[in-house]
Structure 1
Amino acid sequence: MAFVPEDDEHHSANSTYRAPGSPTWAERETLLGKQLDRPPPGLQRPEDRCHAAYAIFFSLGVGGMLPWNFFVTAKEYWAFKLRNCSSSASRRDPEDSDILNYFESYLAIASTVPSLLCLVANFLLVNRVPVQVRVLASLVVTLSIFVVMSVLVKVDTSSWTRGFFTVTIICMAIVSGSATIFNSSVFGLTGSFPMRNAQALISGGAMGGTISAVASLVDLAASNDVRDSALAFFLTAVVFLGLCMGLYLLLPRLEYARYHMKSVGPVHVFSGEEGLTPDSLHSPLVASKSVESHTPPLRPILKKTAGLGFCIIYLFFVTALIFPAISTNIESLHKSSGSPWTTKFFVPLTTFLLLNFSDLCGRQITAWIQLPGPNSKVLPVLSLLRTGLIPLFVLCNYQPRVHLTTVVFQSDIYPMLFTCLLGLSNGYLSTLALIYGPKIVPRELAEATGVVMSFYIYVGLMLGSACSALLEHLI
Structure 2
Amino acid sequence: MAVGSEDIFHHSTNSIYRPVAGSLLEDQEALLEKLLDSPAPIQQRPEDRFNGAYLIFFSLGIGGMLPWNFFVTAKEYWIYKFSNSSSPTAGEDAEGSDILNYFESYLAIASTVSSVLCLVANFLLVNRVPANVRVLSSLAVMLAIFVVMTVMVEVDTSAWPHGFFALTMACMALISGAATVFNSSVFGMTSSFPMQNSQALMSGGAMGGTISAVAALVDLAVSRNVTNSGLAFFLTADIFLGLCIGLYLLLLRLEYARYYMRPVRPVHVLPVEEQRPWDTPTSPLLVTAARSPLTPPLYPILKKTACLGFCVIYLLFITSLVFPAVSSNIESLQKELGSPWTTKFFVPLTSFLLYNVADLCGRQVTAWIQVPGPKSKMLPALVLLRTCLVPLLVFCNYQPRIHLHMVLFRSDIYPVVLTSLLGLSNGYLSTLSLIYGPKIVPRELAEATGVVMSFYMCLGLVLGSACSVLLVHLI
Classify the TM-score, shorter chain. Answer: 0.7 to 0.9
In structure 2, the partner of 1:463 is: 463
How many Å separate the matches in 2 of 1:462 and 1:159? 34
Aligned counterparts of 2:244 and 2:94: Cα–Cα separation in 1: 43
Alignment pair present for 1:341 and 2:336: no
Which is further off, 374-383 or 321-330?
321-330
**Aligned residue in 1 for 2:312:** 312
- Contact in 2 for aligned 1:372/1:378 (Cα 8 Å): yes
**1:350 and 2:350 correspond:** yes
- The worse-fitting range, judged by mean Cα deviation, of 223-232 and 72-81 is 72-81
Q: Is 1:11 the counterpart of 2:6 in the alignment?
A: yes
* 2-structure distance, mates of 1:410, 1:238: 44
Q: Aligned letter for 2:225? A: D
Identity, in percent, stands at: 71
Go from structure 1 to structure 2 and tell me whether the alpha carbon gap of 1:389 and 1:451 turns closer, same or farther (over 3 Å shift). same
Could you tell me whether the CA contact under 8 Å between 1:105 and 1:325 is conserved in 2?
Answer: no
Give 2:405's aligned residue. Answer: 405
Mark the runs of 5 or more structure 1 residues left unpaired by the alignment. 1-9, 21-39, 272-283
For 1:373, the equivalent position in structure 2 comes to 373
Change (3 A) 1:19 1:330: closer
Partner of 2:332: 332
The answer as to 2:214 corresponding to 1:214 is yes
Q: How does 1:90-129 map to 2 (within 5 A)?
A: 100=100, 103-129=103-129
Mapping of 1:51-450 within 5 angstroms? 51-82=51-82, 100=100, 103-265=103-265, 292-450=292-450
Q: Which amino acid aligns with 1:228?
A: N
Q: Quick one: distance in 1 between partners of 2:397 and 2:77?
A: 23
Structure 1 residues 317 and 144: alpha-carbon distance in aligned structure 2, compared to 1, 3 A threshold: same
- Distance in 1, Cα, partners of 2:381 & 2:74: 35
Please tell me whether Structure 1 or Structure 2 has the larger radius of gyration of its CA atoms: 2
**1:354 Cα deviation from its structure 2 partner:** 0.8
Task: Report the Cα offset of residue 168 of structure 1.
Answer: 3.2
RMSD: 3.1
User: Match of 1:328, as an amino acid?
Assistant: S
Structure 1 Cα separation of the partners of residues 249 and 166 of structure 2: 35
Asked whether the equivalents of residues 14 and 442 of structure 2 are also in contact (C-alpha less than 8 Å), the reply is no
TM-superposed CA distance for 1:302, in Å, is: 0.9
One-letter amino acid of the structure 2 residue matched with residue 249 of structure 1: L
Q: Residues 114 and 57 from structure 1, CA distance in 2 versus in 1: closer, same or farther, beyond 3 angstroms?
A: same
Alpha-carbon distance in 2 for matches of 1:73, 1:383? 29
Distance 2:66 2:123 in 1: 23
Q: Which residue of 2 aligns with 1:29?
A: none
The separation in 1 between residues aligned to 2:421 and 2:326, in whole angstroms, is: 15
- For residues 202-227 of structure 1, give each alpha carbon's deviation from its aligned partner in whole angstroms, at most 9, with x where no partner exists: 11100111111112222222212233
Q: Distance in 2 between matches of 1:264 and 1:11?
A: 12
2:278 matched residue in structure 1:
none
Once the two structures are TM-superposed, the CA of residue 174 in structure 1 deviates from its matched residue by 1.8
Q: In terms of mean alpha carbon deviation, does 353-362 or 318-327 score higher?
A: 318-327
C-alpha distance in 2 between matches for 1:337 and 1:47: 57
Cα distance in 1, alignment partners of residues 330 and 104 from structure 2: 13
Cross-structure match for 1:49: 49
More deviation in 259-268 or 361-370?
A: 259-268
Shift of 1:267: 10
Alignment check: 8 A CA contact 1:267 1:296 kept: no
Q: 1:195 to 1:60 in 2, by over 3 A?
A: same
Q: 1:202 is paired with a residue of what secondary structure?
A: helix
How far apart, in 2, do the equivalents of 1:328 and 1:195 lie? 34
Aligned length: 429
Q: Using the alignment, how far apart are the partners of 1:172 and 1:370 within structure 2?
A: 36
**Relative to structure 1, is the Cα distance of residues 329 and 155 closer, same or farther in structure 2, using a 3 angstrom cutoff?**
farther
Tell me if the contact between 1:14 and 1:439 (Cα under 8 Å) persists in the aligned partners: no
TM-score normalised by length of structure 2: 0.82
CA distance in 1, matches of 2:378, 2:256: 35
Paired AA for residue 48 in structure 1 = D
- Tell me by how many angstroms 1:266 deviates: 6.5
TM-score by length of 1: 0.82
Partners of 1:105 and 1:465 within 8 A in 2:
no
Q: Return the alpha-carbon distance in structure 1 between the equivalents of residues 285 and 42 of structure 2.
A: 25
The worse-fitting range, judged by mean Cα deviation, of 438-447 and 52-61 is 438-447
Deviation at 1:310, TM superposition (A): 0.5
Rate the CA distance shift 1:13–1:191 in 2: closer, same or farther, 3 A. farther
The verdict on how the C-alpha distance between 1:347 and 1:146 changes in structure 2, with shifts beyond 3 A counting, is: farther
Query: What is the distance in 2 between the residues matched to 1:402 and 1:386?
Result: 25
The residue identity in structure 1 corresponding to 2:412 is: D
| One-letter identity of the residue aligned with 2:146 | F
Deviations 1:100-134 (A, max 9, x none): 46654543343233212111100000111111111
Cα distance in 2 for residues equivalent to 1:207 and 1:448? 25
* Inter-CA distance 448–473: structure 2 relative to 1 (3 Å threshold): same
Alignment check: 8 A CA contact 1:317 1:461 kept: yes
The structural deviation recorded for 1:386 is: 1.3
Q: Secondary structure at the match of 1:341?
A: helix
Say if 1:126 and 1:69 are closer, same or farther in 2 by CA, change over 3 A.
same
What secondary structure sits across from 2:231 in the alignment?
Answer: helix
Contact 1:104 1:325 in 2 (8 A): no
CA distance in 2, matches of 1:53, 1:441: 23
CA contact (8 A) 1:65 1:208 kept: yes
